[in-house]
């Protein structure tokens, strides 16, 4: 199914990946409705950074993913739903696990129920590589067992399995999209790459980090968004779980050293205990297989880590962008 000229809804459209996905769908010629979280200030998150011309082409609806009625209303008349709305911070999930159940599991249930009743043509449910936990084998393919090593990952496992059940029980045409660690312009300060870059660009002589030995599979935002569109256009992906992964890993320590080399070579690294996950909760290794998305969707990454980091640093180096972040604050 071609995505061009389709009517689409993006939940979580004000977020990092969601806002980039909205831009990409506009370029693809879609009629875009953007679901953002309601707030009294009328803030649309990162959608506010789009141009006026872009925003004129977007129908924005502000509400709460936990509200079944509002979710159903927002999904009426659309062909394809990209469900990204979620609470995603792992550290905050230790403090407020109930809110993750409400938003990530019950919110996804609301979307699934609406898709079932409205007979939505395609529904993409956003998962996370964190559902795999520490790799039992690499590269991690979609058959890897699930391990809920944090309340966040447990909530996403629950949401994924609900989605699977709606496909098998009711025939809802879902695909579970599982991005590995995405990075790039606009990413939240709770993620490791913005955390390092912001500290470096703010001139700190020493950057504070959590554990340095875990490895991750990093994907530049443009590759992740391309993956969403490729999956949406693949009939073979219906009913499947699909990784979006570079199939390349790097340790957090080596990542920090590379960013230091590119920005401020004299900077040192110090480990901060407050930034550490509980010992058994830390995911030590994530390296994803991208065989399935290549095979079913003809997708492949276009950005090397070096190229993606350079573009990310360029964006954060713009003072107007950097001012949005607090270098001296650990963001949960």
Q: How far apart are CA 15 and CA 47, in angstroms?
A: 8
Classify 178 as helix, strand or coil. Answer: strand
Task: Return the pLDDT at 75.
Answer: 98
Tens-of-pLDDT digits for all 332 residues of the chain? 799 999 999 999 999 999 999 999 999 999 999 999 999 999 999 999 999 999 999 999 999 999 999 999 999 999 999 999 999 999 999 999 999 999 999 999 999 999 999 999 999 999 999 999 999 999 999 999 999 999 999 999 999 999 999 999 999 999 999 999 999 999 998 899 999 999 999 998 899 999 999 999 999 999 999 999 999 999 999 999 999 999 999 999 999 999 999 999 999 999 888 888 998 999 999 999 999 999 999 999 999 999 999 999 999 999 999 999 987 777 76
| pLDDT for the residue numbered 332 | 65
Tell me the whole-structure pTM to 2 decimals: 0.96
The answer to whether the beta carbons of residues 240 and 175 sit under 8 Å apart is: yes
* CATH superfamily of the 7-182+219-244 domain: NAD(P)-binding Rossmann-like Domain (3.40.50.720)
Which of 287, 284, 276, 297 has the alpha carbon at shortest distance from 231? 297
**Half-sphere exposure at residue 271, Cβ-oriented, CA atoms within 13 angstroms:** 9
């Amino acid at each position: 199914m071609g995505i061009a000229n389709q009517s689409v809804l993006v939940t979580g459209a004000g977020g990092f990946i969601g806002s980039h996905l909205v831009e990409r769908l506009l370029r693809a010629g879609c009629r875009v409705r953007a679901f953002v979280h309601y707030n009294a200030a009328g803030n649309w998150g990162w959608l506010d950074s789009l141009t006026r011309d872009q925003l004129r082409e977007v129908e924005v609806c502000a509400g709460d993913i936990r509200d079944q009625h509002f979710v159903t209303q927002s999904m009426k008349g659309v062909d394809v739903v990209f469900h990204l709305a979620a609470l995603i911070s792992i550290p905050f999930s230790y403090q407020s696990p109930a809110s993750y159940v409400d938003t990530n599991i019950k919110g996804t249930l609301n979307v699934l129920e609406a898709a079932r009743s409205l007979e939505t043509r395609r529904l993409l449910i956003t998962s996370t590589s964190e559902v795999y936990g520490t790799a039992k084998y690499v590269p991690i393919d979609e058959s890897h067992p699930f391990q809920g090593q944090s309340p966040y990952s447990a909530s996403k496992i629950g949401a994924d399995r609900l989605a699977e059940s709606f496909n098998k029980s009711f025939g809802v045409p879902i695909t579970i999209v599982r991005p590995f660690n995405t990075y790039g312009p606009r990413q939240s300060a709770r993620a490791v790459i913005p955390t390092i870059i912001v500290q470096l660009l703010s001139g700190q002589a020493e950057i504070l980090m959590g554990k340095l030995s875990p490895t991750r599979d990093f994907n530049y935002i443009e590759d992740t968004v391309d993956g969403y569109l490729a999956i949406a256009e693949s009939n073979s992906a219906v009913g499947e779980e699909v990784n979006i992964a570079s199939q390349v890993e790097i340790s957090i320590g080596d990542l920090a050293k590379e960013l230091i080399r590119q920005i401020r070579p004299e900077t040192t690294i110090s480990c901060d205990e407050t930034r550490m996950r509980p010992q058994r909760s830390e995911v030590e290794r994530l390296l994803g297989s991208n065989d399935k998305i290549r095979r079913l969707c003809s997708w492949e990454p276009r950005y090397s880590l070096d190229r993606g980091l350079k573009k990310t640093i360029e964006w954060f180096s713009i003072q107007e962008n950097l001012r949005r972040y607090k270098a001296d604050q650990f963001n949960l």
